[in-house]
Amino acid sequence: MVLTTPFHPRLVELNESQLWQHWAGYLSADRFDLSARQEHTVLRNAAGWFDTSPLNKYAIRGRDAERFLAGVFVRDIRTCRPGRAQYTVWCDDRGHVLEDGVVFRHASDDFLLTAAKPNAGYLSSLIGRLDVEVVDVSTQWASVAVQGPKSREILATLAPDVLDLSFFAMTPAKVADVPVTISRTGFTGDLGFEVMIPADAALAVLDAIVAAGAPYGMKPFGNVALDMARIEAGLPLYGKEFTSARYAYTDHDRFTPQELGLGWLVKNLDDDSRPFVGRRALQREAAEGSARWSTVGIVVDWRAYHDTFEAAGLVPPKDPEPVGWETMLYDDERERAGYATSFMYSPMMQGHIGIARVRPELAAVGTTVHVETSVNHRYVNVPARVTTLPFFKPERKVA
């Protein structure tokens, strides 16, 4: 049975395209407008809202909750104070990523974890004798992301405390007389917030947010525009940049945090007070320098791209919708350099960009790689340069 989120009565009214996909068993809009590029434009220049309710949500509570999570997450949860959130990943014993998520710390012994895929069974299997419980509260909460340069002004008309909310902080508030939690988080790489709402009051809160955003031109956006935004922000997506090591058939589809460009999460590997799952394997990788890949950004040489298509009598395509497959990359000797996990024409960057996995010796900024594309039904290579991620990082995101 296909499920619908608490916001669905409004989503179906607003979805002009009536294009949907399944996300965690729920209907989720691909696009509301007939053009995802239009939704992206509104998001980057005003504000947009996105239904994040299908995320799995787990309450993790108890006297040993911090100790438990410190032994599961790669990032040290002990550095996350109550009233703040933290992006993190968790690994298997071999140091391969199982999944990523955001954990919200409400108190010393009270956390909420959001993740794309089900994790309750796995987390519960690690509890042992610790005084902690993992409770699936996914259906108890609706959540909506309000993102874009006008998002703070919009939400401040309903909850003035957001004006003082720092990046990855959260605050309790009331919207439409409903108690909610607002966090300064999101998946667009822009200034943005997420609102956690009791499911039975979801529509009242959404209606208030939509009404507050109307004078600013705020619109809903779907999965395609979100994918465009998160690629510009260099953010990894489950199912694109990685999948769970639990479900991979071979090690070709298993990756360590370092290989995913998330090495910044891994600190103090020699700290014996926190023997988290996969720590020994990550210690060995760091000591041996054995990471197989580096995750980088690539920017296609626009002149070479144009010349390649124009020489073939074609108009150079500039479709902003991300491609649904891996894009092969080659070095100067036409040997395999790696592959782009996400690739698109970016309206913000005015060029073709990608999140790519390359051999470590090719990861230096400015290195040339060659992107495989198809022209008149044959493969050709177009040069691109390696760059750092993210591509898009406005000061307002953290200011």
Query: Helix or strand or coil: residue 381?
Result: strand
Are both 304 and 209 inside the same structural domain?
no
Task: Kindly state whether residue 385 falls inside one of the protein's structural domains.
Answer: yes
Q: What one-character-per-residue DSSP string does 272-313 give?
A: TT---TTHHHHHHHHHHT----EEEEEEE-HHHHHHHHHHTT
Enter the tokens of residue 356. Answer: 């790519």
Alpha-helical segments (H) within the chain: 8-14, 36-45, 65-70, 120-125, 151-156, 202-213, 223-232, 279-288, 302-311
- pLDDT tens string 245-283: 999 999 999 999 999 999 999 998 998 999 999 999 999
Q: Are residues 303 and 203 in the same domain?
A: no
Residue 254 lies in a domain: no
Beta-bridge partner residues of 354: 298, 343
Are residues 22 and 171 both part of a single domain? yes
Q: In tens digits, what is the pLDDT along the chain, a chain of 399 residues?
A: 789 999 999 999 999 999 999 999 999 999 999 999 999 999 999 999 999 999 999 999 999 999 999 999 999 999 999 999 999 999 999 999 999 999 999 999 999 999 999 999 999 999 999 999 999 999 999 999 999 999 999 999 999 999 999 999 999 999 999 999 999 999 999 999 999 999 999 999 999 999 999 999 999 999 999 999 999 999 999 999 999 999 999 999 999 999 999 999 999 899 899 999 999 999 999 999 999 999 999 999 999 999 999 999 999 999 999 998 999 999 999 999 999 999 999 999 999 999 999 999 999 999 999 999 999 999 999 999 999 999 999 999 999
206 is a domain residue: yes
What is the torsion angle, in degrees rounded to the nearest 10, for the CA atoms of residue 32, residue 35, residue 41 and residue 42?
A: -30
Q: Is residue 89 part of a domain?
A: no
Cβ neighbours for 117, distance < 8 A, ≥ 6 positions apart: 24, 56, 99, 238, 244
Query: How far, in Å, CA of 367 to CA of 361, rounded?
Result: 9
Residues 176, 306 share a domain: no
Position 2 scores a pLDDT of 87
Q: How far apart are CA 265 and CA 258, in angstroms?
A: 9
Closest CA to 149 of 298, 15, 348: 348
Domain boundary among 159, 188, 221: 221
Q: Which domain holds residue 178?
A: 8-56+139-221
**Count of the separate structural domains present in the chain:** 2
Boundary residue ending a domain (177, 200, 221): 221
- d(CA 42, CA 45) in angstroms, rounded, equals 5
Q: Are residues 37 and 183 in the same domain?
A: yes
Q: Are 39 and 157 part of one and the same domain?
A: yes
- Among 202, 221, 240, residue at a domain's last position: 221
Q: Are 389 and 301 within one domain?
A: yes
Indicate yes or no: pTM above 0.75. yes
Q: Could you give the CA distance from residue 18 to residue 370 in angstroms, rounded to a whole number?
A: 38
Task: Please tell me whether residues 152 and 39 are part of one structural domain.
Answer: yes
In a domain, 289, yes or no: no
CATH number, domain containing residue 351: 2.40.30.110
Let me know whether 18 and 147 are in one domain.
yes
* 77 is a domain residue: no
Residue 104 in domain: no
**Do 146 and 52 share a structural domain?**
yes
Task: Quote the pLDDT of residue 64.
Answer: 98
In a domain, 152, yes or no: yes
Q: What's the pLDDT at 265?
A: 97
Residues 143, 17, single domain; the answer is: yes
Supply the CATH number for residue 161's domain. Answer: 3.30.1360.120
CB 25 within 8 A of CB 54: yes
Cα angle 393, 145, 21 (rounded to 5 degrees) comes to 105
